[in-house]
């Protein structure tokens, strides 16, 4: 299989490419073309370990560039689409780029995939499209009720993917994941932000009451779920991919403080995010039964290893924090 992966210089996409080229997960993959525009969160250092692999090609390009996307997709068998603006806070202060990349970019790729007769289009989405849930967990059939501009842009792209399956019979599969954590995550997200701030002796910001609940998913478990969707998913279907570890932000903060051997006096309470969803929780039974998916990295192990990685890789994250200070 010849595969195109968009946004793969970012956190999740780079893990996906590394896992395909470095493990048996990539059996049957003959070539991977990585497409990334290298915005602030795109970093070729994330792919340095596979850059010399003869099965790997990198193309720096904007996914909204229709001509280039058609050229890249020509002769390939499938596409896994990660490329997205994904930081909720940034979408609140400036949503236009989220609409451009997440909606128009996805549309450009869908059109190019249709024109080039791509065999499968895997669209990587988020549980945030569902909104907020007080009790229970969302099935894939739950209505989309996004509450942030980021989530709305992803919900819009999900609907575009559905429309190309229904109207043009494009072979599409959509995945919706819970909160990812792991190595190479840009240090604006909760775990790397807290850990790197604490390494530098800085305070860590805790939104509002800290009672917001998230389900935490190790990035490699997520990538396994995505690859199962690529290889085993039913055309036109949506699959929730979760980690099975729900924590309040207060609980997560305590776990990070424990890992870093510091007390609560380093925590700075800050004004809550606008439209902050209280709780996310996805029902993964469909992915379990149809794909054979299950999370395999125990959260306690994954968190400890992630914290240690950031402690041992200052040369990776420090330039990123300096550049975006």
Q: What is the CA radius of gyration of the chain?
A: 19
DSSP percent split of the chain into helix, strand, coil, nearest 5:
45, 20, 35
Q: Which CATH number fits the domain that encloses residue 250?
A: 3.90.25.10
How many C-beta neighbours within 10 Å does residue 112 have? 24
- The answer to whether residues 138 and 282 touch, using CB atoms and an 8 Å cutoff, is yes
Q: Could you list the active site residues?
A: 127-128, 150
Look at residue 88 and tell me if it is in a domain. yes
State phi, psi for 135 to the nearest 5 degrees: -135, 155
Q: What is the pLDDT of residue 273?
A: 77
Mark whether 231 and 107 lie in a shared domain: yes
Domain region containing 197? 190-210+246-274+311-323
Q: What is the pLDDT of residue 325?
A: 57
Which DSSP state fits 93? Answer: H
Say how far apart CA 188 and CA 91 lie, in whole Å: 13
Say how far apart CA 181 and CA 245 lie, in whole Å: 12
Say how far apart CA 226 and CA 291 lie, in whole Å: 10
- The answer to pTM > 0.85 is yes
Say how far apart CA 100 and CA 104 lie, in whole Å: 5
Say how far apart CA 88 and CA 187 lie, in whole Å: 14
Q: What is the pLDDT of residue 25?
A: 96
Mark whether 161 and 49 lie in a shared domain: yes
- The answer to whether residues 160 and 170 touch, using CB atoms and an 8 Å cutoff, is no
Q: What is the count of structural domains for the chain? A: 2
Look at residue 290 and tell me if it is in a domain. yes
Q: pLDDT digits over 98-149, tens only? A: 999 999 999 999 999 999 999 999 999 999 999 999 999 999 999 999 999 9
Mark whether 138 and 262 lie in a shared domain: no
Q: Which CATH number fits the domain that encloses residue 36?
A: 3.40.50.720
Mark whether 89 and 49 lie in a shared domain: yes
Mark whether 16 and 56 lie in a shared domain: yes
Mark whether 176 and 285 lie in a shared domain: yes
Mark whether 56 and 203 lie in a shared domain: no
In 246-289, DSSP assigns E strands to: 246-248, 267-270
Say how far apart CA 160 and CA 157 lie, in whole Å: 5
Q: pLDDT digits over 12-53, tens only? A: 999 999 999 999 999 999 999 999 999 988 999 999 999 999
Q: What is the pLDDT of residue 113?
A: 98
Q: Which residues pair with 180 in a beta bridge?
A: 217
């Amino acid at each position: 299989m010849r595969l195109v992966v968009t946004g793969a210089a970012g956190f999740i996409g780079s893990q996906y490419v590394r896992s395909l080229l470095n493990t048996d997960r990539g059996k049957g993959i003959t070539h991977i073309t990585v497409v990334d525009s290298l915005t602030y969160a795109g970093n070729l250092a994330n792919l340095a370990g596979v850059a010399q692999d003869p099965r790997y090609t990198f193309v720096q390009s904007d996914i909204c560039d229709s001509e280039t996307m058609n050229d890249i997709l020509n002769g390939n068998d499938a596409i896994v689409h990660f490329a997205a603006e994904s930081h909720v806070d940034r979408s609140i202060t400036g949503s236009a780029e989220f609409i451009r990349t997440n909606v128009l970019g996805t549309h450009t790729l869908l059109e190019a995939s249709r024109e080039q007769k791509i065999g499968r289009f895997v669209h990587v989405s988020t549980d945030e499209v569902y909104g907020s849930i007080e009790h229970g967990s969302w099935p894939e059939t739950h209505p989309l009720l996004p509450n942030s501009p980021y989530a709305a842009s992803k919900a819009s792209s999900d609907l575009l993917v559905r429309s190309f399956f229904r109207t043009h019979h494009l072979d599409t599969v959509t995945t919706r994941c819970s909160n990812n954590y792991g190595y190479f995550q840009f240090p604006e997200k909760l775990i790397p932000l807290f850990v790197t701030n604490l390494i530098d002796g800085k305070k860590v910001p805790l939104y509002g009451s800290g009672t917001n609940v998230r389900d935490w998913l190790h990035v490699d478990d997520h990538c396994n779920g995505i690859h199962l969707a690529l290889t085993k998913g039913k055309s036109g279907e949506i699959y929730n991919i979760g980690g099975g570890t729900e924590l309040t932000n207060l609980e997560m903060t305590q776990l990070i403080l424990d890992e870093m051997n510091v007390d609560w006096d380093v925590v700075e309470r800050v004004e809550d995010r606008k439209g902050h969803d209280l709780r996310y929780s996805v029902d993964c039974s469909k992915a379990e039964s149809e794909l054979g998916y299950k999370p395999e990295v125990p959260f306690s192990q994954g968190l400890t290893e992630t914290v240690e990685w950031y402690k041992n890789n200052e040369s990776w994250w420090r330039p990123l924090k300096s550049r975006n200070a």
